[in-house]
């Protein structure tokens, strides 16, 4: 083999090595993204499993209604107030993280879809009435113009979740019969 042929062969092999390195890097990036989605899903699932959050969902589903008055909301037990607050804080956190693209909207939607009809209207009502109450209290720093930012993030998320219509998430036990792992 002459020197020129050896140089060409070496150049071809180095090109292949670069190509395999790029493919390996691409595969690694895909694996990191898959693991990140799994970790995000686990984080959301764990936060929704919190007993305080579950009591909050139950309170929004059975005690707080879309017609609740401020007096009725003030009459909630301390546990009910704490649990509804836990739901608001959790959803506000998920909203901010979704807005900043730290959480996938599709994953958040998958987790919250089942709760929307249960908590959406009563959650909106409670936030509206509490914000109104704070704005009316003369010693509060909450104004009608600015409101409570945490509540606004929850409303933002509720609006997005309710507007999104993914048929694959509706009655998966019926509509996803052909799904296989």
Are 132 and 70 spatial neighbours (Cβ–Cβ below 8 Å)?
Answer: yes
Q: How far apart are CA 29 and CA 74, in angstroms?
A: 51
Write out pLDDT tens, residues 57-113. 999 999 999 998 888 988 999 999 999 999 999 999 999 999 999 888 999 999 998
CA distances from 84 to 42, 66, 134 (A): 22, 14, 17
The pTM of this model reads: 0.75
Write out pLDDT tens, residues 112-160. 988 888 899 999 999 888 887 777 777 666 667 776 778 889 999 999 9
Q: Determine the longest span between alpha carbons in the chain, in angstroms.
A: 94
Cβ contacts of 128 within 8 Å, gap of 6 or more: none
């Amino acid at each position: 083999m002459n020197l020129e042929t050896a140089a060409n062969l070496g150049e071809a092999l180095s090109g292949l090595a670069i190509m395999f390195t790029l493919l390996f890097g691409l595969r690694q990036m895909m694996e990191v993204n898959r693991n990140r989605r799994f970790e995000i899903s686990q984080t959301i699932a764990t936060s929704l499993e919190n007993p305080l959050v579950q009591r909050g969902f139950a309170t929004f589903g059975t005690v707080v209604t879309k017609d609740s008055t401020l007096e009725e909301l003030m009459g909630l037990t301390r546990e009910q107030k704490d649990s509804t607050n836990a739901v608001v804080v959790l959803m506000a956190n998920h909203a901010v993280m979704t807005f900043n693209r730290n959480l996938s909207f599709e994953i958040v939607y998958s987790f919250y879809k089942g709760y929307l009809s249960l908590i959406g209207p009563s959650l909106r009502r409670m936030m509206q009435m509490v914000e109104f109450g704070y704005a009316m209290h003369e010693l509060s720093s909450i104004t009608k113009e600015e409101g409570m930012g945490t509540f606004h993030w929850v409303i933002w998320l509720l609006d997005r979740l309710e507007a999104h219509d993914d048929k694959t998430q509706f009655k998966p036990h019926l509509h996803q019969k052909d799904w296989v792992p």
